[in-house]
Amino acid sequence: MRKRLLQVCGTMRLMLRCCGLGRRRRSRLLHRAATYWTYSKLCANSLLYNSFTNSDVLLDSLFEPIYWLVDHVTRWFGVVFVVLVIVLTATIVLIVYVCMLPVILSTYPAGWVAWHLCYGHWNLVQIIFHYYKAVRTLPGQPTQGKSDIPMVSICRKCINPKPPRAHHCSICNRCVLKMDHHCPWLNNCVGHYNHRYFFSFCLFMTLGCIYCSVSSREMFVDAYLTINMATVAPTISFREKAFHKAIIYLWVLCSSVALALCGLTLWHMVLIMCGETSIERHINKKERQRQQQKGRVFRNPFHAGKLNNLKIFLGIEKRR
């Protein structure tokens, strides 16, 4: 009886020890897991914490793959866009010479014929010259090494000193002086040295499209009515149908481009009058809001008056 009691007591002690050992091991594992989790959080916070981080930075980080894709696609398709501009402009010029000019020469008075010939060719020369200069002229980049130009910051991408109004273009992979934007239709950045050519091209292309749309308006109405009647009773030849479709193509394309380019040209005119670029407009807007919250008034340091800004942009007058 005594032996059996001792065996039961020993068994009970062994079970209690096993339970206590299991609890200790479980508590040690939980403690170790909690320690690792706390350490991981501390490492993540120390690596990712930034006092300047906000929702804009978070969105930029999330959309970084999309930006990378757009940059590379734009870089490779820039040549395609340039060829497209040349082809569309060449087709419009061809239609004007083949379809519109004979009608003008045969029906208009001598004074109007002279005006059309002079203005049309002058506008065409301006478009070709300014587009060529905008494409071929480098926008300018900061000088490497020592320079007398004051540098205000360091570029985070190319790790080089950056003067005022210079920004890094991720498509061209370089810093650009007085950068406005990267234009895929030029396959080039619009900056300090070619901004004037870009604006002049937009202006003269808008005037040329308006000129073609206004000059071909009556011919477009006749062509549209003739094509509609031909669908009901086909009585016109293939050559006449091609002529009318060419006039419709010219009017629709020139009107659409004139509408789009007119808005772009007016927007850049406003920026030029304010002494800003497209990038600076966005930066100055945020800075203006930040200064307003502090009860201060933000003033653009590069604003020299609307007329003086226009003169400086065109190179007529230098800033004193």
Tell me the catalytic residues: 183
Q: Residue 196 and residue 190: Cα distance in Å, rounded?
A: 9
Query: Are residues 261 and 206 in contact, defined by beta-carbon separation less than 8 angstroms?
Result: yes
Residues forming a β-bridge with 162: 153
Closest CA to 174 of 75, 69, 292: 75
**If you ran DSSP here, which 8-state letter would residue 50 be given?**
-
Q: Which residues contact 188 (CB under 8 A, 6 or more apart)?
A: 78, 134, 135, 137, 138, 139, 172, 182, 194
First to last CA, the chain: 116
Percent of the chain as helix, strand, coil, to the nearest 5: 70, 5, 25
**If you ran DSSP here, which 8-state letter would residue 98 be given?**
I
Question: 296: exposed, middle or buried (C-beta count within 10 Å: 0-12, 13-18, 19+)?
Answer: exposed
